[in-house]
Structure 1
């Protein structure tokens, strides 16, 4: 997580492997609308670290991804495609994104060496 000079979120990187599983979308009736406030310790470069993700799930059929650090007691809708799951004490426990897709990898072009091997095999 990185902030700009005015302490606004400018970058958020999450590196994890996603597990494919069916996820229920968060219905707006089941959540409150809010503007999040994230409290974290930042280094001199404006970067913060968070605990390791316990579970990272992707539902490709519905286009939903959920990153989890534990159980959520309350869901808050931040934007039409972003919901945050909070613990009872307000700690961030889940981030759920909808309309999310992972593009299929582009086919790798055959190298000249591979073409020569195929030609003379």
Structure 2
């Protein structure tokens, strides 16, 4: 069913849940400006990532718009991976922090490979 590019009820419900939780996190962290900034940047990056994914799905294959959307999706997912790796690693012991960073960097490299290096067989 063509909805004209509009999301269905389930993505809308997920967005409402994300927005509510971000609002609650900002409210509870109002005395810590760095925590508020983290939540706001993560929220805006997620919104932008979802929008770019939507545009990537609708972009014609092989076009410049598709290449731009791939770069935007990879950049935003890299930003989010680095942000959350930093927060998680900060509360881990040294060996756990090293593991978090290795997994995060592995995810970033694998995403770059999948988007920009790997070519599907015709």
TM-score norm. by structure 1 comes to 0.20
State which structure, 1 or 2, has the greater radius of gyration over its C-alpha atoms: 1
**Whose RCO is larger (CA < 8 A, sep 6+)?**
1
TM-score norm. by structure 2 comes to 0.19
More strand by share: 1
